[in-house]
Amino acid sequence: MLIGKGKNKRVAEHIQNIKCPSCNESGSLLMEGYQEFLILGLPVFPISKTVQVTCSACKKYFPPSSITNEMYRGVQYIKSKTKPTVWMYLLPILTVVLVFFGWRSSVRKASENISKIEKVKTGDIYTVETGDLYYNKMEVLFVKDDAIIFHESGQSSAKLKEMQYMDSFYGDTVAYSKKDLLKLNSDHKIEEIERH
Ligand SMILES: [Zn+2]
């Protein structure tokens, strides 16, 4: 991951009423304002501003140590016009957007699950989180009064991307009440309820 500092030119102006200390030309000093920003793989936020001074007439570059008092006013003016842009906050913006969409899709999934739990059907297949990002499946065998009887897969828990290979059920039979299932769902432990 790239960690460092980027810079982007935001302003470029010839400053009038200031003479070049090198060639004495008036209005020839080109001042370019750069906005620097922190990068952690992507731009994170703006940090300092720098101004680069060159003379368009004699081509001399003036490093910060050679800036005269007269030029300094121009530098301050360019700094005040140098503003960050929105993409310099790209990483925090993307983070907020991804968290929001992740949250919205988990809310939508949880509400779809509720309607399937309320009208449970034989053959529904539940993908349930059993541990930290490990999942297992169980299939609804039958419903008796308030008890929903499941057949577990009998296989060991797996990561989500491997769940598609878990398609047979020869494990233990277990019983849940609707209340248990709704609790699991509100705890975001039910990843998916497949119905064919
Ligand atoms: Zn000059």
Model confidence at 1, in pLDDT bands (50, 70, 90)?
A: low
Domain boundary assignment for the chain: 3-89, 119-194
What pLDDT is attached to residue 120?
A: 93
- Rounded mean pLDDT of 45-49? 96
146 SS3 class:
coil
pLDDT per position as a tens digit, 3-27: 999 999 999 999 998 999 999 999 9
Characterize the bridge pairing of strands 147-152 and 173-177: antiparallel
- Which residues are CB-contacts of 82 (< 8 A; sequence separation ≥ 6)? 10, 11, 33, 34, 35, 49, 51
pLDDT per position as a tens digit, 100-140: 999 998 889 889 999 999 999 999 999 999 988 999 999 99
**How far is ligand 1, taken at its centre, from the CA of residue 167, in Å?**
78
List the shell of residues around ion ligand 1, using CB closer than 5 Å: 20, 22-23, 55, 57-58
- Rounded mean pLDDT of 45-52? 96
- Rounded mean pLDDT of 85-96? 96
More confident residue, 166 or 55: 55
188 SS3 class:
coil
93 SS3 class:
helix
- Which residues are CB-contacts of 44 (< 8 A; sequence separation ≥ 6)? 37, 38, 89, 90, 91, 92
37 token code pair: 């920003």
Question: What is the rounded distance in angstroms from the CA atom of residue 71 to the CA atom of residue 62?
Answer: 10
What pLDDT is attached to residue 163?
A: 87
What pLDDT is attached to residue 165?
A: 86
**How far is ligand 1, taken at its centre, from the CA of residue 65, in Å?**
17
Question: Please, what is the average pLDDT of the chain?
Answer: 94
- Rounded mean pLDDT of 172-176? 95
**How far is ligand 1, taken at its centre, from the CA of residue 52, in Å?**
14
Question: What is the rounded distance in angstroms from the CA atom of residue 29 to the CA atom of residue 98?
Answer: 45
Model confidence at 38, in pLDDT bands (50, 70, 90)?
A: very high
**How far is ligand 1, taken at its centre, from the CA of residue 56, in Å?**
7
Most confidently modeled of 52-56, 69-73, 143-147?
A: 52-56
**How far is ligand 1, taken at its centre, from the CA of residue 35, in Å?**
25
What pLDDT is attached to residue 185?
A: 94
pLDDT per position as a tens digit, 134-151: 999 999 999 998 899 999
- Rounded mean pLDDT of 155-184? 92
Model confidence at 196, in pLDDT bands (50, 70, 90)?
A: confident
**How far is ligand 1, taken at its centre, from the CA of residue 114, in Å?**
75
**How far is ligand 1, taken at its centre, from the CA of residue 49, in Å?**
24
Question: What is the rounded distance in angstroms from the CA atom of residue 8 to the CA atom of residue 49?
Answer: 10
